[in-house]
Amino acid sequence: MYNKPNDSHRRGNLARIRILAPAFYFCLALILASCSSMGPRTIRPDGFNYNQRIADQENEQLLLNIVRLRYLEMPRFLNVASVISQYSRSGSAGIGGDFNSTRSLVGNTGASWSDRPTITYTPMSGQAFAQSLLTPLPPAVIFFLIQSGWSAERLMRLTNSMINGIHNEIGTPGERRQGDPEFKELLGVLHELQRAGALGMHFNGDWPKVDVDIVLPANPRTDSIRRSIAHFKQILDLDPDQHIFDINYGVVREERNQILVQTHSILEMLSNISWYIDVPAEHVAEGRTHSTFIPDDPDLIHIRVAPNKPDGAYLSIKYRDHWYYIEDTDVKSKNTFSVIQILMSMANDGSGSVGPLISIGN
């Protein structure tokens, strides 16, 4: 027999509905609001996270390729072509009850979230990319960075093989040598002139075909600057009466107002740096690689090796069961590493990004 609920039961159920309904609709509103604003709110944290991870990947890739060159292996580069992140969020809510038997009222809500990033890598290969690795750096690139405030001493040591017949150090085993004493003197004078604001540049032409001149003060403001300028001209055998000097790539000078430089290519620069790396003694003894080059001034870059992953390293990669890394407190090595990355960016115009795409997604 059907029992009609009495008035007290009906009033109790209505009271439950009045109590639960506002909370239920409030939860539903939160779910819908979060779905509508999900996109804008994820831009900042996810953008920063992807930016940091891509930067880490590029740093690790460069360090890995320097280590590969030490073991006489060719470098391989992957470029991050695109990052696509797809988000979805859904919500549900319901309310129900049995007013006849159990006289109960039940509410429920639910939500789900998914993040599906897809990262596309492009192998860097092809003739154009090979040319960017093998072509000597234009002198204008080097002196443009000096003009921008980067250390002239560090850039010249990193990128130059010879300047006006004065040789830089070379770490490659086949032609290993310490630099000429005059080259070290020149680096010191350049540092003094740059610090005093007396090392000027003049650029003419459209990039990348740019002519560059060094411009020295005709009337130095201090005796110290005057002595540095005279020393600079004496080391490079320049005309002492001139203060503007053409910089070109080459070997044989025709006039005494010329500064001729022989620059490294990107591949030469990376290969040369690779011989500054610490390696396990057993790898040298077994003939896997040659001994480390120790220059007169070891402050250009120091890449260390350890059997286990180092704590607090600026950058580290695992290769042949060992960890190669740069200390986070080694400011000079970090500076040199940053300069290398800038030089590589300026040498590569992106035309070498050919080959199959590699997409990695969840």
Beta-carbon count within 10 A of 61 CB: 16
Q: Mean of the pLDDT values across residues 8-13? A: 55
Residue 5 half-sphere exposure toward CB, CA atoms < 13 A: 15
* Mean pLDDT of the chain, nearest integer: 83
From start to end of the chain, where are the E strands?
A: 78-98, 104-123, 160-163, 166-167, 200-204, 211-215, 244-249, 258-263, 304-306, 313-319, 322-327, 358-361
Tokens read off for 254 = 């025709």
Buried/exposed 164-186: b ≥16 CB within 10 Å, e otherwise:
bebbbbbbeeeeeebbbebbbeb
- Could you give phi then psi for residue 110, rounded to 5 degrees? -155, 155
* Domain coordinates in residue numbering, the chain: 127-356
C-alpha–C-alpha distance, residues 122 and 361, integer Å:
15
On the 0-12 / 13-18 / 19+ scale of CB atoms within 10 A, 23 is exposed
Q: Mean of the pLDDT values across residues 103-120? A: 63
> How many H helices and E strands in the chain?
9, 12
pLDDT band for position 6 (50/70/90)? low
pLDDT band for position 317 (50/70/90)? very high
328-360 pLDDT, tens per residue? 999 999 999 999 999 998 887 655 555 555 555
54-102 pLDDT, tens per residue? 888 899 999 999 999 999 999 998 887 777 766 666 555 555 555 455 5
- Could you give phi then psi for residue 160, rounded to 5 degrees? -100, 135
Residues with Cβ within 8 Å of residue 130, at least 6 apart in sequence: 352
- Predicted TM-score (pTM) of this structure: 0.77
What per-residue confidence (pLDDT) applies to 321? 96
178-218 pLDDT, tens per residue? 999 999 999 999 999 999 999 999 999 887 688 999 999 99
Length of the chain: 362
What per-residue confidence (pLDDT) applies to 296? 81
Three-class HEC string of 193-221: HHHCCCCEEEEECCCCCCEEEEECCCCCC
